[in-house]
């Protein structure tokens, strides 16, 4: 089974480009470029979304350092919960720890599954839902401009692309 998978991965436009040294842009037709473009966009989207989620979780768990240090947004889970309370200003105070913990667990789960390419459609649609909720909460609490300033809806559209049209190439899913 592994041999067949490796054989499938070594065929197609990318293999041709790597083997011959030909430029990707010089592939003869749109039919040759489209599968490669879909594969590369899917891989890039998975990596960008997954790594973003994992970096955010790492920051709120204090893995980058203390609050106030360079490159640290939160530094502690308690500071993250303070931010979650501001984003969810319409929610009762007792709900904030649950919302913060749920967001953290889901971001970790979606981050890992997207990076590995495991259950990609499930992770992509879950990510899109989470980003829609986050962007909506930001819009309610800070105004409609805020989620656009942080590209929340752009990331949501990236997740929707993966869910609807994303390629399974270079994923754990393709090996199963």
Q: What tens-digit pLDDT sequence spans the chain (176 residues)?
A: 444 444 454 455 555 555 655 565 565 677 777 888 899 999 999 999 999 999 999 999 999 999 999 999 999 999 999 999 999 999 999 999 999 999 999 999 999 999 999 999 999 999 999 999 999 999 999 999 999 999 999 999 999 999 999 888 889 888 88
Q: Confirm if 141 and 21 have CB atoms less than 8 A apart.
A: no
Q: Which of 120, 134, 118 has the alpha carbon at shortest distance from 163?
A: 120
Tell me the C-alpha distance between 122 and 105, whole Å.
15
Distance of CA 30 to the CA centre of its chain: 27
Q: Specify the pLDDT at position 7.
A: 46
Q: Which residue, chain included where needed, has tokens 């998975």? A: 46
Q: Confirm if 110 and 53 have CB atoms less than 8 A apart.
A: yes
């Amino acid at each position: 089974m592994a041999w067949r998978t490796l054989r499938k991965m070594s065929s197609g436009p990318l293999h041709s480009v790597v083997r011959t040294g030909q430029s990707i842009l010089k592939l003869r037709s749109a039919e040759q470029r489209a599968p490669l473009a879909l594969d590369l966009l899917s891989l890039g989207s998975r990596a960008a979304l997954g790594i973003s989620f994992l970096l955010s979780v790492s920051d709120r768990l204090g893995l980058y350092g203390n609050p106030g240090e360079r490159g640290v947004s939160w530094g502690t889970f308690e500071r993250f919960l303070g931010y979650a309370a501001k984003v969810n200003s319409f929610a009762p105070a007792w709900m904030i720890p649950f919302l913060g913990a749920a967001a953290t667990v889901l971001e970790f789960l979606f981050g890992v599954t997207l990076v590995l390419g495991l259950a990609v459609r499930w992770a992509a649609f879950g990510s899109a839902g989470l980003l829609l909720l986050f962007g909506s909460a930001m819009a309610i609490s800070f105004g409609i401009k805020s989620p656009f300033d942080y590209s929340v809806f752009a990331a949501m559209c990236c997740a929707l692309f993966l869910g609807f049209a994303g390629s399974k190439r270079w994923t754990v899913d393709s090996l199963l």
